[in-house]
Amino acid sequence: MTLFTTILAFVVALGLLITFHEFGHYLVARWSGVKVLRFSVGFGKPLFRRRLGTDQTEWVVAAIPLGGYVKMLDEREGKVSPHELPRAFNRQTVSRRFAIVAAGPIANFLLAILLYWLLFVLGVGGVKPVLGEIAPSTPAASAGFNEGQTITRIGDRSVTTWQDVRLALLAHAVDRTPDLDVETVAENGVIHQLKLDLSSLEADDFDADFLGKIGLSYYQPAFSSIIGQVMAGGAAERAGLQVGDEILAIDGQEVLYWQEVVGIIRASPGHLLNLEIMRNGQLIVDLPLTPEIALEDKIEIGKVGIAPKIEHEMLENLLVKISYPPVTALSKAAAKTWEMTYFTLRMLGKMVMGDVSLKNVSGPITIADYAGQSAQMGFVAYLGFLALISVSLGVLNLLPIPVLDGGHLMYYLIEMIRGKPLPEKVMEIGHQIGMLLLITLMIFALHNDLLRLIAR
């Protein structure tokens, strides 16, 4: 994955999500008769500026693509001509102001529905939840899971992919469900009803290796030990390994399958290994290879930068593609958006309560990384990423924090109850508190991002 791909995917994602969000504010403001002075995607120095429409609204693309805003005519921000007072935002009824502010997050949820609808029409690909080796002394081992079984149901929810499994287990794990019903089907067709105890999970266990903490792993086909890809700049390339090389032995230990190669390399960070390989029918012995040292969950492992030759028939048996007719896809998309919204709110609540570690908070670096990875995986994967981030942006903006849309909505609800706005002084203090909270959150998120980069 190139840096250019990551940056481009990140900028496109932010541009699309911010534009939709601000366009929600803009449309409802116009429908309400409010004059819009400026529509800006990004902050800072304008890179593009043009005035359009009867109101000569200024359309701006600015240099810092980490947000945007819609500036409306408002007496609190400048002098307003008497004939334009009815079009000032602050002169609108509280219900209209509420609708204008709420329209931004709602636009993000509508965008998520559209993106999920496209996904379900085009077809969502995934990997069947076939179990690999079950780690001993884990909840999965205690429940009686076995390698080769396929998970078909978790609680009252059917699952068809590993993504479904992860989301369903996370939803139950945050509640530390003690006896979660899980249905699996063995390779011989026998159905098993298992009880999975998630009560032993701790706040720090809800990370990227969440399934590993439970003891579950993906089934990996027994690929041969033939190299299918050599990463540029990696230890394997420096050692002279080539695509098509078949690894026969490492330090005199015979290997037949790719998993054996991976196991030895991972267990040998920084240690010299001597390989015996077959290249174009010729045997090469004592080829030296020293795996680079990498960190995985604070444990040193070896990496050399090679991938196996993919045997597509094996993979096709593990892949599934799900698609729906357009009308059905729309209802599925709405349900998926609600599910992800509810799940995001629950995870935020659990973080506040201390049930889930704040280490799971991600900042722009991690989001950019995920954007690049999903873009590399293809258009459909990128659509899924955009839908998820759109939901997250909608939820974030609805939080009752002053300076966010949710903070303004909170003020308007109080105004509806009191029959008059809060005093300016109170709102000013709230604004300062909100800014402090946001800056603290951003620093914390960037701190987490940097820790993830260092741990790679």
- If asked whether residues 114 and 10 sit together in one domain, one would say yes
Q: At what angle do helices 94-122 and 379-398 cross, to 10 degrees?
A: 160
Collect the ranges in the chain with pLDDT lower than 70: 1-2, 205-208, 297, 313-315, 357-370, 377, 444, 447-456
* Structural domain includes residue 340: no
For 148, counting Cβ atoms within 10 Å of its Cβ (0-12 exposed, 13-18 middle, 19+ buried), the class is middle
Cα 193 to chain centroid, rounded: 31
For 16, counting Cβ atoms within 10 Å of its Cβ (0-12 exposed, 13-18 middle, 19+ buried), the class is middle
- If asked whether residues 136 and 243 sit together in one domain, one would say no
- If asked whether residues 438 and 387 sit together in one domain, one would say yes
- If asked whether residues 172 and 113 sit together in one domain, one would say no
- If asked whether residues 209 and 186 sit together in one domain, one would say yes
Question: Quick one: pLDDT at residue 455?
Answer: 53
Backbone φ, ψ for residue 302 (5° rounding): -100, 140
CATH number at residue 139: 2.30.42.10
Question: Quick one: pLDDT at residue 453?
Answer: 58
Assigned token pair, 371: 């954007």
Tell whether the torsion through CA atoms of 75, 78, 81 and 87 is positive or negative: negative
Question: Quick one: pLDDT at residue 249?
Answer: 94
If one counts every other C-beta atom within 10 angstroms of the C-beta of residue 345, the result is 13
* Structural domain includes residue 101: yes
- If asked whether residues 197 and 242 sit together in one domain, one would say no
- If asked whether residues 231 and 275 sit together in one domain, one would say yes
Q: Which of 23, 12, 105 is nearest to 379 (CA)?
A: 12
Cα 232 to chain centroid, rounded: 27
**3-state class (DSSP) for residue 143:** helix
Last residue of a domain, one of 311, 330, 358: 311
Question: Distance (Å, rounded) from C-alpha 37 to C-alpha 56?
Answer: 8
Residue 270 DSSP label: T
Question: Distance (Å, rounded) from C-alpha 181 to C-alpha 184?
Answer: 10
What is the CB-side half-sphere exposure of residue 80 using CA atoms within 13 A?
A: 20
Question: Distance (Å, rounded) from C-alpha 7 to C-alpha 368?
Answer: 7
Cα 326–Cα 327–Cα 333 angle in degrees, nearest 5: 80
* Structural domain includes residue 417: yes
Instruction: Count how many domains the chain has.
Output: 3
Q: Which of 137, 210, 126 is nearest to 169 (CA)?
A: 210
Domain around 294: 227-311
- If asked whether residues 200 and 160 sit together in one domain, one would say yes
Question: Distance (Å, rounded) from C-alpha 26 to C-alpha 16?
Answer: 15
For 272, counting Cβ atoms within 10 Å of its Cβ (0-12 exposed, 13-18 middle, 19+ buried), the class is exposed
Which residue type, as a one-letter code, is found at position 234? G
Catalytic annotation on 22?
A: yes
* Structural domain includes residue 25: yes
* Structural domain includes residue 362: no
Cα 210–Cα 387–Cα 107 angle in degrees, nearest 5: 135
Of the residues 22, 183, 246, 254, only one is catalytic, namely 22
| Helical ranges in 230-319 per DSSP H | 235-239, 258-266, 312-316
- If asked whether residues 148 and 177 sit together in one domain, one would say yes
- If asked whether residues 129 and 155 sit together in one domain, one would say yes
Question: Quick one: pLDDT at residue 116?
Answer: 94
Tell whether the torsion through CA atoms of 213, 214, 217 and 218 is positive or negative: negative
* Structural domain includes residue 192: yes
* Structural domain includes residue 41: no
Kindly state the helix (H) or strand (E) to which residue 296 belongs, with its residue range. Answer: strand 292-296
- If asked whether residues 231 and 303 sit together in one domain, one would say yes
Say if residues 307 and 220 touch (Cβ distance below 8 Å). no
If one counts every other C-beta atom within 10 angstroms of the C-beta of residue 5, the result is 14
* Structural domain includes residue 432: yes
Q: Distances in Å between the alpha carbon of 327 and those of 155, 252, 335? A: 27, 60, 13
- If asked whether residues 138 and 212 sit together in one domain, one would say yes
Last residue of a domain, one of 311, 330, 363: 311
The number of residues making up the chain comes to 456
Question: Quick one: pLDDT at residue 380?
Answer: 81
Tokens 């990696």 sit on residue: 234
Say if residues 192 and 183 touch (Cβ distance below 8 Å). yes
Residue 226 DSSP label: B
Question: Distance (Å, rounded) from C-alpha 44 to C-alpha 38?
Answer: 14
Check: pTM over 0.85? Answer yes or no.
Answer: no
Last residue of a domain, one of 322, 354, 388: 322
For 385, counting Cβ atoms within 10 Å of its Cβ (0-12 exposed, 13-18 middle, 19+ buried), the class is buried
DSSP E strand stretches across 298-378: 299-303, 306-308, 319-322
Question: Quick one: pLDDT at residue 402?
Answer: 86
Question: Distance (Å, rounded) from C-alpha 273 to C-alpha 268?
Answer: 8
Question: Quick one: pLDDT at residue 358?
Answer: 64
